[in-house]
Chain A
């Protein structure tokens, strides 16, 4: 078991999300940066579907009640064990009473802490991903105790050290495909969409808003399916990039669709950072 001594800014349990329940209006959810979440599991020899802890900007302080192994991948928030720095992207041996905490941010927005065998929080509709109204908790709070599967270490993971290329945290470009309503845009709007460097505005697990507007006179559409990575254009010209916790339907024209790697890349960016769309 793990005790949460300090909760951090927004800490939650995530896996690869709820697949197959969107016809009930249940969002997919799941790790914002799926690539980083998978990597943390891979290092420990876990299943890639095992639940991990998603940590946002300000990390939590955790105490372990059992021996285990963990791995941390994604953003670098200077993780430390009992006050001493530990490596990212490697297997970290944990003994009973060890404390893991995080310090200053070096790069990225979200980091993933995988634990041997995965977290064992409640499973709803085939997933442990936190989502308000589906799981009891929306985020982890101080004092919570989390179960994980206590299993003997395989010895396999202890040898793994990954050379991790962190250049994707810095890249501005987001790869996109045309969205279903892309062709309703006029040539000038299409051109601007790809020429402009956009600034990220308010964001959360549901969506990222862009600060620059794209003037348009498109009418709202009849509500239709939207996906994580769908870029919506509102009547006031706001561009909204939907993320993992997005509703299953939307009523604004869907002008672009981010590729899966670009959703992961965007998940590592924060307000005021710049992005540029490209085919």
Chain B
């Protein structure tokens, strides 16, 4: 049986917001993902979309087809259902990152601010295994949990107007990858040649919530080589099945 009691509230006239305690917690994540799957499997008429977030699920529905109270009760019943379904297979993705200064524009600033040698920053950043909590904000942006506390570092007070695609960065208590060139205030420590959003694919993101990410340090020559392999479609990202 599920072990949480999420709260329900209206989010405008055609959405229900279901909330778990406000924290990045892997048990909460598992509960949200299994609930989202159960909702999909139940195929309720009138549901347009379920949007998953770090500690919430938003169910968007056709308000002329189904009422808030009726849908809320249906969802509560579904939440309480036992499921014998196997949870989906999760992967640990090994993401090559070049931490050279040409990419890691803010490594020195973090090093001074945190009184940590740059080598130590890279070691801490590559040693951790990060859990994908959600995809959101920008197309293909992963919310990752698991950044080493010693690397928590405030965002820039004035955001950069252009951060390159693939930039690996730290913002407060989080680390992340910019899936496309965009403005942004996070501190940049490296760059990956891997694309986190591929608009030509039906499923545009290879990673999904519940998957894990580890960053693998690569030299610039290797970065260039992977870039070429990606261009000629000869590159395969390394992954392992996660069992837990």
Contacts and interface: CB of A to CB of B under 8 A. Distances in A.
B205 A133 contact: no
B199 A221 contact: no
A259 B63 CA distance: 12
Given A20-B48, A124-B199, A223 B54 contact: yes
SS of A interface (majority)? loop
Given A22-B51, A257-B11, A180 B141 contact: no
Q: What is the interface of chain B mostly: helix, strand, loop, or mixed? A: loop
Interface residues of A, number: 32
Contacts of A177: 10, 12-13
A25 B139 contact: yes
B2 interface: no
B15 interface: yes
A117 interface: no
B58 A247 contact: no
Interface string B130-156: 000011111111010000000000000
B56 A225 contact: yes
A48 B238 CA distance: 45
A247 B138 contact: yes
Contact of B136 (A179, A180, A227, A249): A249
A22 B136 CA distance: 7
A12 B220 CA distance: 40
A87 interface: no
B204 interface: yes
Nearest to A250: B137
Contact of B140 (A25, A27, A179, A225): A25
Residue among A22, A24, A180 with the highest chain B CB neighbour number at 10 A:
A24
Interface string A209-225: 00000000000011111
Contact of B14 (A19, A180, A260): A260
A259 B12 contact: yes
A224 B54 contact: yes
A227 B15 contact: yes
A224 B179 CA distance: 19
B55 interface: yes
B87 interface: no
A134 interface: yes
A249 B13 contact: no
Contacts of A178: 10
Interface residues of B, number: 39
Nearest to A259: B13
A224 to B, nearest CB: 5
A181 B199 CA distance: 34
B11 A25 contact: no
A125 B139 CA distance: 12
A199 interface: no
Given A19-B48, A223-B53, A25 B10 contact: no
A8 interface: no
A260 B12 CA distance: 9
A248 interface: yes
Interface in B7-29: 9-15, 17, 19, 22-24
A240 to B, nearest CB: 15
Contacts of B180: 133
Interface of A: 19-20, 22-27, 124-125, 133-134, 177-180, 221-225, 227, 229-230, 247-250, 257-260
Given A22-B51, A177-B10, A222-B24, 11 more contacts: A20-B48, A23-B50, A25-B136, A25-B137, A133-B139, A225-B56, A230-B12, A247-B137, A249-B53, A250-B137, A258-B12
Which 5 A-B pairs have CB atoms at the shortest separation, nearest pair first?
A249-B136, A257-B12, A225-B58, A248-B136, A25-B139
21 contacts: A20-B48, A20-B49, A23-B51, A23-B52, A24-B139, A25-B137, A124-B199, A125-B199, A133-B199, A134-B199, A177-B12, A223-B53, A224-B53, A224-B55, A224-B56, A227-B15, A247-B137, A247-B138, A249-B53, A250-B137, A257-B12
